[in-house]
Every structure is written in structure tokens, then in C-alpha cells.
Structure 1
Amino acid sequence: MIHELDEDSRGKEMEYALIKLGCSPTDIYSHMDRIANLASQRAVVIFSKSTCCMCHAIKRLFYEQGVSPMIHELDEDSRGKEMEYALIKLGCSPTVPAVFIGGKFVGSADVVMTLQLNGSLKEMLKDAGALWL
């Protein structure tokens, strides 16, 4: 999901806030490219914060299924704040955990838990090559 600032009644305010935080449009797209690159490196990639309890729960969910996701802790990355803004631009709300399966953005904790409960998550993991059951 992409949040189009030009279609949001408060889009200009959000854009100014991003610029005040030091993000230029070029920077944001550069970080979006970095996220896309990282998200394609493994079958499951989770953008997380080490202090986030929902991130911990989602990581544990994958580990308990025998999946070894690539974890990228934004709070331990010098460019983590900028990457977090890029995740917002990609439609991640809240920004963490942001789960990518097979290089595609799946969603945050609520979406992943819904997929787990309705049985879709396991199939997605198989299709992405994260599970061989």
C-alpha cells in the first residue's frame, strides 16, 4: 500500500514534516530502494525495532514455524529513522513490524496474525520457499 501525499488532505503538512526531519524526496526514494533490496534478499524479511513487543511476537511466530527470517532492526541502523519514513511511504502503519514475504510487503502484526489464524500464512511461506512442508 502506498500513501499518496497529493491525495491526502494533510499531504502537504506530512511532506513538510518529512522535509523538516531531513528527508528530501530523493532520500525517501533511495531508502525505499534500500528496503526493496533488503526485502528481496530472503524469503521472509522483517523490519523491526528491538524494543517493540509486537515485533518480538511476530519474530517468534515465524521462528516457531521453522522459518528463519532476515531481521532488520531499524533502531540499530544509523539510517533506521529514514528507512522508517520510507516504510510509511510504502503504506506501513504502524511502521514495525513490517513483514515482507517473497519480496512483497505483506503487512504489520495485525495482518500477519490474521493470515496465521485463517491458515493463509503457511501457504504464503511455502510459495516463497521459506517452508518445505
Structure 2
Amino acid sequence: MGMAQSSSSSSPPSDSKPGEEPSKPAMALNEAKEIVASFSVVVFSKTYCPFCARVKQLLAQLGASYKAVELDVESDGSELQSALANWTGQKTVPSVFIKGKHIGGCDDTIAMHKGGNLVPLLTEAGAIATPSL
């Protein structure tokens, strides 16, 4: 019953000890999923990205409330972006979620709006207040 084992470990012993926090990628993915679950509309964005600005501007014009997560400002933004890429298959920003569902990027969101599908989805998500007549 010696300590030496011939089976290879996926992480070096110095990397994590039993009972320690999960890895950074796992934590970032959990954080991303928590953010998406906590808000009806989430835009993962970068402050200098013109495509992100277009999506945020569109949502603002529609009167939609949304949570913007600026990945270039967040201390763990690069980890979050990697986690989003692994989760959604989309490496670029903006990455838009409505009611926990990944909508896509700028082109996807604008196409959805042009097709008349964005406002009903935002309304259903509770991000746009239905006008009282």
C-alpha cells in the first residue's frame, strides 16, 4: 500500500489538492452559467468592440433591459471568454443570451430582429415591458 501509483494523473500534484477550489476554467464556466441564469438577457461584450456596441444599442433602442458583461474590464474576462467558447462554440463577442438560450453574435441578433423574432423573445423573457394601452 505504497503512495506511488503507476496510473497517470491528469493534473500535477502541485496544481490542486483534494478539497481545493475547482480549476479556473471550471470556475469561469460556472460563473458564466450563473450570470446567464440570473438575468433574462445577457450580452458578453468588450467595451471597444463595435459589434458589441451595435447589439447593446439595438437592445437599448428596443427598450430592453439587459446585463452587459464587459470581458475586457472583468478581472477574469479572458477565462470567461474561453469558457463561453467551450460552452457555445462561439469564440467572438458579442455573445448574446436570452432566457438562458444562446442567441449568437451581432449578425445573429440583428438578423433575428429583422426577422421579427427578437422583440417577441425579449418580451417573453420579461426584458421589454409590454405597453399598457
CA contact (8 A) 1:43 1:101 kept: yes
Could you give the per-residue CA deviations for residues 56-80 of structure 1, whole angstroms, max 9, x where no partner exists? 0000000000012111100001100
**Which amino acid counterpart does residue 132 of structure 1 have in structure 2?**
A
**Percent identity among equivalent residues?**
33
1:70 aligns with 2:55: no
Query: Which residue of structure 1 aligns with residue 53 of structure 2?
Result: 56
- Computing the radius of gyration from Cα coordinates, the structure with the larger value is 2
Stretch moving more, 49-58 or 98-107: 98-107
Aligned mate of 1:79, from 63, 73, 76: 76
CA distance in 2, matches of 1:68, 1:39: 14
RMSD after superposition: 1.5
Q: Which aligned runs of 4 or more in structure 1 are off by greater than 6 angstroms?
A: none
Question: Could you list the runs of 5+ residues in structure 1 that have no partner in the other structure?
Answer: 1-24
The 8 Å contact of residues 31 and 82 in structure 1, kept in 2 or not, is answered as yes
Deviations 1:24-78 (A, max 9, x none): x943222111001011222111110000000000000000000121111000011
What is the TM-score of this pair, normalised by structure 2? 0.76
- Residue pairs, 1:1-133, within 5 angstroms: 26-133=23-130
**Unpaired segments of 5 or more residues in structure 2?**
1-21
